[in-house]
Each structure stands twice: as C-alpha cells, then as structure tokens.
C-alpha cells in the first residue's frame, strides 16, 4: 500500500487514527496499572487494620507487669512487717 502525501487530508486522518489508537492503548495500560495499585492499596489497608486489631487484642490481654511487681513488693514488705511484729 502506498503512503499518501503528507499534506493530503487522507494522510492526516490516517495519522490521527493511528495516534488515537496509540493513545487508547496507552490509556488502557495506565488504567490497568492504576487499578492494580488501588487493589494493592486496599489489601495493605485491610492488612494494617487486621494488624491493629490483633495488637489491640494483645495489649489488652497482656499482664500488667509493673502493677504486679508493685503488689508483690508490698506483699513482701507486709509479710516482713508481720513476721517482725509476731516475734
């Protein structure tokens, strides 16, 4: 097939149609990439929410070690005072 002259209206229309096809393919690729990024972002948000829930559960279930240490120390001190008083 022979190419028409560059200043011909048919040549301009043909090149515009090729350009349109190229732009449509490019937009489709960009749209697909953006959809993939949105999907990954949603997955990351769900994982983050799950981890926050699990951490909150672990924090509520942990032993209050400083309070437990204070109660043990006071109990030991009271036991020592009681033993000294009963002698």
The pTM for the full model equals: 0.55
Average confidence score pLDDT of the chain: 91
User: What sign has the CA pseudo-torsion 80, 83, 86, 87?
Assistant: negative
Closest CA to 58 of 50, 66, 68, 67: 50
66 vs 3, residue with greater confidence: 66
pLDDT for the residue 4: 59
| Model confidence pLDDT, tens digit, residues 4-39 | 566 788 889 999 999 999 999 999 999 999 999 999
- Quickly state the pLDDT bin for 65 (edges 50, 70, 90): confident
What distance in Å separates the CA atoms of residue 47 and residue 33, rounded to the nearest whole number? Answer: 21
Q: Give the rounded percent of residues in the chain with a pLDDT score beyond 90.
A: 71
Q: How far apart are CA 60 and CA 47, in angstroms?
A: 20
């Amino acid at each position: 097939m022979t190419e028409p002259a560059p200043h011909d209206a048919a040549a301009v229309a043909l090149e515009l149609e090729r350009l349109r096809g190229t732009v449509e393919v490019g937009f489709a690729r960009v749209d697909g990439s953006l959809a993939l990024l949105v999907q990954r972002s949603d997955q990351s948000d769900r994982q983050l929410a799950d981890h926050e829930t699990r951490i909150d559960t672990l924090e509520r279930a942990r032993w209050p070690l400083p309070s437990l240490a204070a109660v043990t120390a006071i109990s030991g001190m009271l036991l020592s005072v009681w033993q000294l008083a009963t002698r």
